[in-house]
Structure 1
Amino acid sequence: MPFTAPRDVELLIEARWILPMSDGLPTLEHHAIAIDGGHLLGPWPISEAPQHVRPARTLHLTHHALLPGLINAHNHAGMSLMRGFADDLPLMTWLNEHIWPIEAAHVNPDFVAAGTRLACAEMLASGTTTFADMYLAPEAVVPVVEAAGMRAQLCTPLIDFPTPWSMDFESGVRQTEALQARLGHHPLISLALGPHAPYTVGDESLNRLREAREHLALPIQMHVHETRDEVDQGLAKDGKRPLRRLFDAGLLGPHFQAVHMTQVDDEDLALLRETDTAVIHCPQSNLKLASGFCPVARLQAAGITVGLGTDGAASNNDLDMFDELKTAALLAKGVSGNAAALPAMAALALATRDSAKALGMSDRRGQLREGFDADLIAVDLEGLNSVPVHHPASAAVYAVQSRQVSHVWVAGSARVAASEFVGLDRQALLEEARQYEHALRPVAGNVTD
Structure 2
Amino acid sequence: MTTSAAPLDLLLLPTWLVPVEPAGVVLKEHGLGIRDGCIAFIGPRAAALKLEAKEVRELPGMLLSPGLINAHGHAAMSLFRGLADDLPLMTWLEKHIWPAEAKWVDEAFVRDGTNLAIAEQLKGGITCFCDMYFYPKVASDCVHNSGMRAQIAMPILDFPIPGASSADEALRQAIELFGDLKHHPRIKIAFGPHAPYTVSDANLEKIRVVAEELDATIHMHVHETAFEVQQAVEQTGERPLARLGRLGLLGPRFQAVHMTQISEDDLALLVESNTSVIHCPESNLKLASGFCPVERLWQAGVNVAIGTDGAASNNDLDLLGETRTAAMLAKAVAGSATALDAHRALRMATLNGARAMGLESQIGSLEVGKAADMVAFDLSGLAQQPIYDPVSQLIYATGRDCVKHLWVAGKPLLDDRQLTRMDEQQLTATAIAWGQRISGHSE
Q: Which interval holds the TM-score relative to the shorter structure? A: over 0.9
CA contact (8 A) 1:39 1:371 kept: yes
Q: Does 1:185 align with 2:161?
A: no
Structure 2 residue matching 1:133: 3-state secondary structure:
strand
**1:443 shift after superposition:** 9.3
TM-superposition CA deviations, 1:96-145 (whole Å, max 9, x none) = 11111111111001101100000000000010000000000001112211
Q: 1:216 to 1:324 in 2, by over 3 A?
A: same
User: Aligned residue for 2:32?
Assistant: 33
Aligned with 2:230 (options 229, 232, 235):
232
User: Aligned residue for 2:415?
Assistant: 417
CA contact (8 A) 2:38 2:370 kept: yes
Residue pairs, 1:144-163, within 5 angstroms: 144-163=142-161
CA contact (8 A) 1:64 1:378 kept: yes
Structure 2 residue matching 1:434: 3-state secondary structure:
helix
User: Aligned residue for 1:22?
Assistant: 21
Structure 1 residue matching 2:203: 3-state secondary structure:
helix
Aligned with 1:260 (options 247, 251, 258):
258
Residue type at the aligned position of 2:13: E
CA contact (8 A) 1:83 1:317 kept: yes
Residue pairs, 1:120-269, within 5 angstroms: 120-269=118-267
Residue type at the aligned position of 1:334: A
d(CA) in 1 for partners of 2:4 and 2:323? 42
User: Aligned residue for 1:287?
Assistant: 285
TM-superposition CA deviations, 1:385-410 (whole Å, max 9, x none) = 11111110001100111011000000
**1:215 shift after superposition:** 2.6
Residue type at the aligned position of 1:67: S
TM-superposition CA deviations, 1:300-324 (whole Å, max 9, x none) = 0000000000000000000011100
d(CA) in 1 for partners of 2:350 and 2:78? 23
CA contact (8 A) 2:223 2:259 kept: yes
Q: 1:143 to 1:313 in 2, by over 3 A?
A: same
User: Aligned residue for 1:43?
Assistant: 42
Q: 1:25 to 1:297 in 2, by over 3 A?
A: closer
CA contact (8 A) 1:89 1:289 kept: yes
Aligned with 1:436 (options 434, 437, 442):
434
Moved more, 255-264 or 35-44: 35-44
Aligned CA RMSD, in angstroms, stands at 1.4
Q: Does 1:323 align with 2:294?
A: no
**1:24 shift after superposition:** 4.5
d(CA) in 2 for partners of 1:315 and 1:261? 17
Structure 2 residue matching 1:254: 3-state secondary structure:
coil
d(CA) in 2 for partners of 1:66 and 1:102? 41
Q: 1:4 to 1:148 in 2, by over 3 A?
A: closer
Identity of aligned residues (%): 47
**1:5 shift after superposition:** 7.3
TM-superposition CA deviations, 1:35-75 (whole Å, max 9, x none) = 11000022111011144x31011000111000000000001
Q: 1:48 to 1:175 in 2, by over 3 A?
A: same
d(CA) in 2 for partners of 1:180 and 1:274? 28
User: Aligned residue for 2:65?
Assistant: 67
CA contact (8 A) 1:17 1:31 kept: yes
**1:148 shift after superposition:** 1.4
CA contact (8 A) 1:6 1:50 kept: no
CA contact (8 A) 2:342 2:395 kept: yes
d(CA) in 2 for partners of 1:6 and 1:211? 47
Residue type at the aligned position of 2:418: E
TM-superposition CA deviations, 1:129-167 (whole Å, max 9, x none) = 000000000011122112211001000010001111211
CA contact (8 A) 1:11 1:36 kept: yes
d(CA) in 2 for partners of 1:11 and 1:388? 30
**1:247 shift after superposition:** 0.3
Residue pairs, 1:293-372, within 5 angstroms: 293-372=291-370
In the comparison of the two structures, how many residue pairs are matched?
Answer: 441
Residue type at the aligned position of 2:217: P
Residue type at the aligned position of 1:64: M
User: Is there any run of 5+ residues in structure 2 with no aligned partner, and where?
Assistant: none
Residue pairs, 1:97-116, within 5 angstroms: 97-116=95-114
Residue type at the aligned position of 2:161: T
User: Aligned residue for 1:447?
Assistant: none
d(CA) in 2 for partners of 1:265 and 1:412? 43
Residue type at the aligned position of 2:90: M
Residue type at the aligned position of 1:88: D
CA contact (8 A) 2:178 2:190 kept: no
Q: Does 1:403 align with 2:395?
A: no
TM-superposition CA deviations, 1:228-256 (whole Å, max 9, x none) = 00000110111110000000001100000
Residue type at the aligned position of 1:16: T
Q: Does 1:58 align with 2:89?
A: no
Residue type at the aligned position of 1:441: S
CA contact (8 A) 2:120 2:317 kept: yes
d(CA) in 2 for partners of 1:150 and 1:241? 37
Structure 1 residue matching 2:440: 3-state secondary structure:
helix
CA contact (8 A) 1:33 1:44 kept: yes
State the TM-score, normalized to the length of structure 1. Answer: 0.96
d(CA) in 2 for partners of 1:353 and 1:229? 32
Structure 2 residue matching 1:301: 3-state secondary structure:
helix
Residue type at the aligned position of 1:246: L
Residue type at the aligned position of 2:320: F
**1:210 shift after superposition:** 1.4
